[in-house]
Amino acid sequence: MKMISKISKLVLALVLVGSSVFAQSIADAKKAIDAEQYQKAKSMLKNLTVTQGTKDENFFYLGWVYILQDYPDSAKATFQKGIAVNPKSALNYAGLGAAAFVDKDKANATTNFNQAIALAGKSSTPYTYVGKAYLLNQTDGKVAAADANAAIAILNKGKAVNAKDAELLVALGDAYRSQLKNTEALDQYQAALAIDPKLASAKVATGVIWKFANNFEDSEREFKAALAIDPNYGPAYREWAETDARWALSDPKMASVKIKEGVDAYRKYLSLTDMSVESRMRYADFLAYAGDYKTLQTEANELAKAANGNLRVYRYLAIAALENKDYPAGLTAINTWISKADPKRIIARDYLVQGRLQIASGQDSLGIGALKKAYAIDTTQADVYAEIGKSLYAQKRYEQAGDAYAAYVAKSRKSTLNDYLRLGSSYYYAFDPKKPDTTLLTKADSAFSHINQKAGKPIPAVLLFRARVNESKDADRNNIKGYAKPYYEQYIAAVSATPPADERAKRELAEAYIYLGNLAMYKEKDEAKATENYTKARELDPTNKQVAAFFSRKGGASKGK
């Protein structure tokens, strides 16, 4: 009897397990996708494409998971299967458009999006996923304005079809939020919650808005509200972790506490999202954002062993190695990624990392080329020109360094007066008296003049450079014009209040007096004034060759008399 009882229990257990598998629905799969449980969703959907092989939406949602996991080729093949099942499947055409859009094939993306909308009828769901597709291509978490506006336009059309589609409203809110239109975004999230008060994703999205407003307490309140709805809703923990990281960066006093809390929250997220490679890659993104590069390098090395051919792990390895100054490992990783990944997957940041690693490894020419590629892909990366200028200056390629700094101050919003100083000094040092190109001196003087105009008070280093630039224009001692005189006089006035403390400062002040001495001697023909200036120079720099030569000539002349 005991044996029969055990067998009966086993059979019953199997029946229950079997019934739970077959009871899985598209709604269960969509819930898993929303919770970022992609492996779980994929398993459900693969089963549904077999058990309910005539339903095209099963193929669409499976393909959508592939899109979210960054496997566009697998996604495309799956969407095509959905269209084979139903040639009028609006959702699968939306999916094909998404796969093309991720691959930066905008022509095919548009064709498929249009077909999806043409077939949508009274369903707002295809509009939702076309809108979401426009938000997929992000650079450092930012969506291009044109893509976001396309998403907003199509989602509003979908809203006209069905204003009660809460998922669509959240997507519309996300599109507005990507362009910092937070009031409009909040309106959509609130409308979605009015339709479905249990919509955890809308609570989390609201928390993200407060995060970017640095209103961290309200942000956490929204994440807690989402977890009150669903304690296992992983995205709430992920966004909470990323909020803690931003909090740490914004408030140094809270940094250590919030980074620890953030790491704990992210590990909770991972535990709720099946610890898949894709979830761990999101964790890698978090570590990069939080600036925890040691942990990132460790995690990336572990991911490299388990990534099952996902090359993107090499991007993380390279970023971490660069920050940890492990340049050989970083170069190997970034070169592997750039050489083996589909060219359409390469972004500006990849070339930024490659260029910085190459320059740090002494491969300056290659590094400069890589940084220029980064700018060619993304013209908002104008800061690369400051790095290019620094590299060229170190190589004493001064004119090219000046050109790079000129591009930087023209294109970047971050340039400072110090960058104009670098610009001017680069062109000054590029001037060769043996092959005089006075346009270099003009460019240098223009940069120094800009600093004087903006600084509000005289800057001795700038006055000295302006003096030297104008002295270079006046190199013929036998036909001296005195272009540098006002600048050397201003320099003397600026530094004389405080006696020069070091030998360099003394030599620079002596330089000014020597110039004025030469001007008095050769232009003004005033020997007494020349002697006065040279005497001051000798007090500052007694071993100066020009000083010694002047007094040697003066002594010889006296003896001759």
Of 288-297, 338-347, 517-526, the range with the lowest mean pLDDT is: 288-297
Please compute Rg for the chain using Cα positions: 34
Q: Would 522 be classed as within a structural domain?
A: yes
CA 537 to mean position of chain CA atoms: 51
**pLDDT greater at residue 355 or residue 249:** 355
Q: Could you report the per-residue pLDDT of 182-233, keeping only the tens digit for each?
A: 999 999 999 999 999 999 999 999 999 999 999 999 999 999 999 999 999 9
What pLDDT, on the 0 to 100 scale, is given for residue 254?
Answer: 86
Residue pointed to by tokens 């599109």: 175
User: Mean pLDDT throughout 428-449?
Assistant: 93
pLDDT score of 47 more than 60: yes
pTM strictly above 0.85: no
387, two tokens: 């790095």
Q: Would 295 be classed as within a structural domain?
A: no
User: What is the number of alpha carbons within 13 Å of residue 266 lying toward its C-beta?
Assistant: 22
**Contact assessment for residue 223 and residue 203, using Cβ atoms and an 8 Å cutoff:** yes
Tell me the CATH number at 543: 1.25.40.10
Q: Would 491 be classed as within a structural domain?
A: yes
Q: Would 551 be classed as within a structural domain?
A: yes
Q: Could you report the per-residue pLDDT of 480-515, keeping only the tens digit for each?
A: 789 999 999 999 999 987 878 789 999 999 999 999
Q: Could you report the per-residue pLDDT of 125-141, keeping only the tens digit for each?
A: 999 999 999 999 987 77
What pLDDT, on the 0 to 100 scale, is given for residue 20?
Answer: 39
325, two tokens: 């100054």
Q: Read off the DSSP letter of residue 139.
A: E
Q: At a CB cut-off of 8 Å and minimum separation 6, what does 444 contact?
A: 402, 423, 424, 425, 426, 427, 428, 431, 465, 469
The sign of the CA dihedral 504, 510, 516, 517 is: negative
Mean pLDDT over the full length of the chain: 90
Q: Could you report the per-residue pLDDT of 378-413, keeping only the tens digit for each?
A: 888 999 999 999 999 999 999 999 999 999 999 998
Q: Could you report the per-residue pLDDT of 89-120, keeping only the tens digit for each?
A: 999 999 999 999 999 999 999 999 999 999 99
Spatial distance between the Cα atoms of 480 and 560, rounded to a whole number of angstroms = 27
Q: Would 281 be classed as within a structural domain?
A: no
Q: Would 554 be classed as within a structural domain?
A: yes
Q: Read off the DSSP letter of residue 456.
A: S
134, two tokens: 């426009």
Spatial distance between the Cα atoms of 274 and 160, rounded to a whole number of angstroms = 37
Q: Closest Cα to residue 495, out of 517, 511, 476?
A: 511
In the chain, what percentage of residues exceed pLDDT 70? 93
pLDDT score of 15 more than 70: no
Q: Could you report the per-residue pLDDT of 364-375, keeping only the tens digit for each?
A: 999 999 999 999
Helix axes 527-540, 545-560, angle to 10 degrees: 140
Q: At a CB cut-off of 8 Å and minimum separation 6, what does 102 contact?
A: 67, 72, 133, 136, 137
What pLDDT, on the 0 to 100 scale, is given for residue 263?
Answer: 85
Spatial distance between the Cα atoms of 185 and 171, rounded to a whole number of angstroms = 9
What pLDDT, on the 0 to 100 scale, is given for residue 486?
Answer: 95
**Contact assessment for residue 494 and residue 518, using Cβ atoms and an 8 Å cutoff:** no
pLDDT band at 302 (very low <50, low <70, confident <90, very high): confident
What pLDDT, on the 0 to 100 scale, is given for residue 308?
Answer: 65
pLDDT score of 18 more than 60: no
**pLDDT greater at residue 448 or residue 522:** 448
pLDDT score of 10 more than 50: no
User: Mean pLDDT throughout 160-187?
Assistant: 97
pLDDT score of 266 more than 60: yes
Residue pointed to by tokens 């969407």: 79
What pLDDT, on the 0 to 100 scale, is given for residue 7?
Answer: 34
What pLDDT, on the 0 to 100 scale, is given for residue 498?
Answer: 81
207, two tokens: 């928390």
- Residues 405-444 as b or e (16 or more Cβ within 10 Å = b): bbbbbebbeebebebbbbbbbbbbbbbeeeeeeeebbebb
What pLDDT, on the 0 to 100 scale, is given for residue 303?
Answer: 86
What pLDDT, on the 0 to 100 scale, is given for residue 476?
Answer: 67
Domains held by the chain: number: 1
SS3 215: coil
Range(s) of the domain holding residue 481: 457-560
pLDDT score of 461 more than 90: yes
Q: Closest Cα to residue 299, out of 332, 257, 263?
A: 263
User: Mean pLDDT throughout 544-558?
Assistant: 82
Helix axes 417-430, 398-411, angle to 10 degrees: 150
What pLDDT, on the 0 to 100 scale, is given for residue 145?
Answer: 95
What pLDDT, on the 0 to 100 scale, is given for residue 35?
Answer: 93
Q: Would 191 be classed as within a structural domain?
A: no
Q: Would 464 be classed as within a structural domain?
A: yes
Spatial distance between the Cα atoms of 249 and 211, rounded to a whole number of angstroms = 12
Q: Could you report the per-residue pLDDT of 311-350, keeping only the tens digit for each?
A: 889 999 999 999 999 999 999 999 999 999 988 889 999 9
Of 68-82, 236-250, 289-303, the range with the lowest mean pLDDT is: 289-303
**pLDDT greater at residue 21 or residue 529:** 529
